[in-house]
Amino acid sequence: MKRILIVGGVAGGASAAARARRLSETAEIVMFERGEFVSFANCGLPYHIGGDIQDRSALLLQTPQSFKRRFNVDVRVFHDVIDIDKVGKTLLVRNLLTGDERRESYDQLLLSPGAAPIRPPFPGIDSPGVHTLRNIADMDRILAALQRDDPHHVTVVGGGFIGLEMMEALHQRKRDVTLLELSDQVMAPVDREMANMLHARIREEGIDLRLRTGLASIEILDGQPEQTVSTGLRLTLSDGTRLDTGLLILAIGVKPETRLAAQAGLELGPRGGIKVDASMCTSDPFIYAVGDAVEETDFVTGESVLIPLAGPANRQGRIAADNMLGRSETYKKTQGTAICKLFDLAVGSTGLNEKRLLQLGLPFEKVYVHPGSHAGYYPGAHPVSLKLLFAPDGKIYGAQAIGKDGVDKRIDVLAVAQRAGLTVFDLQDLELTYAPPFGSAKDVINMAGFVASNHLKGDTLLCHTAEVQACHPHQQVLDVRNGPELDQLGRIPGALHIPLDELRGRLNELPREKELLISCQVGLRGHVACRLLSQHGFKVKNLSGGFKTWQMAVMA
């Protein structure tokens, strides 16, 4: 009888345990979890704090008792694994309730320790009132502090997934919120011009968003360092200013939990995570590892990456269980596909962003489109702003989208297209569902494929905001929108203005010696203008995504 020990539950460990039992009724499966909860919806924690998920018990997916009943898995909570003996194939496990320690033998071992929130060594970092959010216990402590101290103002440090979700949750609880982000944008997986839409939405809600601003130190107000209840905190920020707050949430990021693996001499990767092969096996043939603690392989570049997402962790747990029980399955790399809710917006991405492509020095092209989420004549349509990045041969590198509706659908389709090896030329031909309440006859994805294909074929050359802003003497910006649009929506400085419908009759007003950079509102009329002008002998480029993209890029 094979004995499988699993260190850590939640996504990777719990998935592996359930899969292992489905494959083998005879294996002995024991799972150790240092906390109280073995399988919970950690992605749902901010939504319970904010009140969207009212019932706390809804976050508890499995208990030790339910695991035992359904899967005959021996789950031991409050048990901390403190040492691995690879030679003897044993674990040293401490019962945190009694302090007892004992050795447990294994035939196969799975490590799923996850990742821990980063807590920089700032002065005052361990003060009462300073919280992170990783598990149910953290959530309970935050809720208790909100109830007990009733802080009027709260501060969130970090503008990633957890930071934005906590910002919204605390705003929903009627607290004044300051969001600190050390970089020049929130939501690092998307590029700056896309993030600017998020910045505008955050500020619309009255949230004090401070970009390029980090945390330097923390001081307890009206109390002593040893007190257990916070009466307020004074934050010193990286720009030298001070901020008084009642509660501080650290959401700076996470780091893989590798202590056990490192102590056991397992090989770590270049990013500091546990190194595994495609079968999820570590450098020891009897030890596997999954989830946020491991380094994965980027789907596009083949590099080692850290991707702390629940989807990959679940799939890895399943694959590891298969291979521990004699099968031969491989993990097919990670695209980093993700989505986040921000008030009434959704922001999603897959693959590489422009920042990363520039770092890698890969040649790439990009297009922006802003079609409606469904047919414009059916009520409730909202724009989907989509950025598509691709190689000069049409290979899809990545995509980002922001909007009120339909973002998940478009990013999911592009993630599948990328994994299937489709190119931007193939996007033109995808047959996607259409009825007025759900989409358009030419879907957002089709439109992105049309624009990208037209550019690569040379039918309509594109330019981008940086080129329009630089606008050399041999170039001239031409805006083909209607006059009222310019008055209501704004204009690009220095641009000529001739409405598209008047363009054929006013060609003599255009400087033939200059290259014309054409702008409309979202790029569609610009494409028509480019086709018209190019056939009349003008040298032209279309501003991809039009004035709307330009506005996103230059937004403060």
Average pLDDT over residues 148-162: 95
Would you say residue 246 has pLDDT above 60?
yes
Are 398 and 350 a contacting pair, CB within 8 Å? yes
- 456-501 pLDDT, tens digit per residue, is 999 999 999 999 999 999 999 999 999 999 999 999 999 999 999 9
Tell me the pLDDT band of 231, cut-offs 50, 70 and 90: low
Tell me the pLDDT band of 150, cut-offs 50, 70 and 90: very high
Tell me the pLDDT band of 122, cut-offs 50, 70 and 90: confident
Average pLDDT over residues 225-248: 81
The amino acid at residue 398 is: G
Residue 291 confidence (pLDDT): 94
- 277-307 pLDDT, tens digit per residue, is 999 999 999 999 999 999 999 999 999 999 9
Long-range CB contacts (< 8 A, 24+ apart) of 498-502?
500/525, 500/528, 500/529
Would you say residue 514 has pLDDT above 60?
yes
Residue 10 confidence (pLDDT): 82
Total Cβ atoms within 10 A of residue 147: 8
Residue 72 confidence (pLDDT): 95
Query: Is this structure's pTM higher than 0.85?
Result: yes
Share of the chain above pLDDT 90, in %: 91
Residue 229 confidence (pLDDT): 43
Nearest one of 531, 541, 547 to 385, comparing CA atoms: 547
Residue 228 confidence (pLDDT): 43
- 204-222 pLDDT, tens digit per residue, is 999 999 999 999 999 998 6
Are 179 and 163 a contacting pair, CB within 8 Å? yes
The amino acid at residue 10 is: V
Average pLDDT over residues 251-275: 95
Alpha helices in 51-90 (DSSP H): 64-71
Tell me the pLDDT band of 427, cut-offs 50, 70 and 90: very high
Q: Report the range of poorest mean pLDDT among 69-83, 184-198, 221-235, 245-259.
A: 221-235
Are 350 and 325 a contacting pair, CB within 8 Å? no
**Burial class (CB within 10 angstroms; exposed 0-12, middle 13-18, buried 19+) of 1:** exposed
Is 520 noted as a catalytic residue in this protein? no
- Which is it for strands 540-543 and 475-479: parallel, antiparallel or unpaired? unpaired
The amino acid at residue 318 is: R
Alpha helices in 403-538 (DSSP H): 407-419, 424-427, 444-457, 465-470, 483-489, 524-534
Nearest one of 108, 73, 74, 75 to 91, comparing CA atoms: 108
Residue 223 confidence (pLDDT): 53
Average pLDDT over residues 185-213: 97
Residue 555 confidence (pLDDT): 82
Catalytic residue from among 43, 281, 463, 530? 43
Average model confidence (pLDDT) across the chain: 94
Average pLDDT over residues 99-124: 94
Are 364 and 390 a contacting pair, CB within 8 Å? yes
Q: In whole angstroms, what is the distance from residue 29 CA to residue 207 CA?
A: 48
DSSP-derived secondary structure letter, 309: -
Residue 225 confidence (pLDDT): 47
Residue 227 confidence (pLDDT): 44
366, two tokens = 């990009």
Please give the helix or strand (H or E) that residue 85 lies within, else none: strand 79-85
**Which residues, including other chains, have CB under 8 Å from residue 119's CB and lie 6 or more apart?**
125, 132, 250
Residue 226 confidence (pLDDT): 46
Q: Which is more confidently placed, 408 or 37? A: 408
Residue 375 confidence (pLDDT): 92
- 378-397 pLDDT, tens digit per residue, is 999 999 999 999 999 999 99
Tell me which residue has tokens 């209501």: 488
Share of the chain above pLDDT 70, in %: 98
**Which residues, including other chains, have CB under 8 Å from residue 121's CB and lie 6 or more apart?**
none
332, two tokens = 């097919």
DSSP-derived secondary structure letter, 549: H
